[in-house]
Amino acid sequence: MLLGKGKKQEPTNSDEVLLVERIKQHEGFRTFPYKCPAGKLSIGYGRNLEDCGIREQEAEIMLMNDLTQATLQLYNECPFVAKMDNTRKNVLIEMVYNMGINRFKGFKKMLVACQNGEWDKAADEMLNSKWAGQVKQRAKTLAETMRKGK
């Protein structure tokens, strides 16, 4: 049965498989939010975001997927991060997660400072940005972590 708590739910018999496939066919798949015919904001295979939202477990799956993507993007765009300590590397991953890789690449002076191991300068560059004004305490916390490495 598809009902269950806290577990990944898979169809368990042929009737459930047919149900899932029929719903997928009728709903179609959308990667971005859209208005369904009833005017509700929906996503995926007709998930009604306005009435159902998402569960914390679903949000955590999305978070982990997004962190994996941010990490891959960071390593691809800034190969030098492989030589950085994990604490500072995680600061950069969080920045990519928060703002996206394209905006992150605009932190050119910070990236040069990181590549050269100039942690105070990297932290200063983080704080000297429009981003720091937008995220306030997050920027302060991440800059301090970059500066101290802990």
CATH code at position 75: 1.10.530.40
> Both 136 and 80 in a single domain?
yes
DSSP element (H, E) containing 20: helix 14-27
Q: Binning pLDDT at 50, 70 and 90, where does residue 1 land?
A: very low
Count the domains in the chain. Answer: 2
98-146, pLDDT tens digit by residue?
Answer: 999 999 999 999 999 999 999 999 999 999 999 999 999 999 999 999 9
Q: Binning pLDDT at 50, 70 and 90, where does residue 10 land?
A: confident
> Both 94 and 112 in a single domain?
yes
56-78, pLDDT tens digit by residue?
Answer: 999 999 999 999 999 999 999 99
This prediction's pTM: 0.86
For residue 138, the enclosing domain spans: 56-148
Residue at 5 is within a domain: no
> Both 91 and 19 in a single domain?
no
**CB neighbour list of residue 79: distance below 8 Å, 6 or more residues apart:** none
> Both 19 and 65 in a single domain?
no
Smallest CA-to-CA distance from 128 within 108, 150, 102 is with 108
> Both 43 and 66 in a single domain?
no
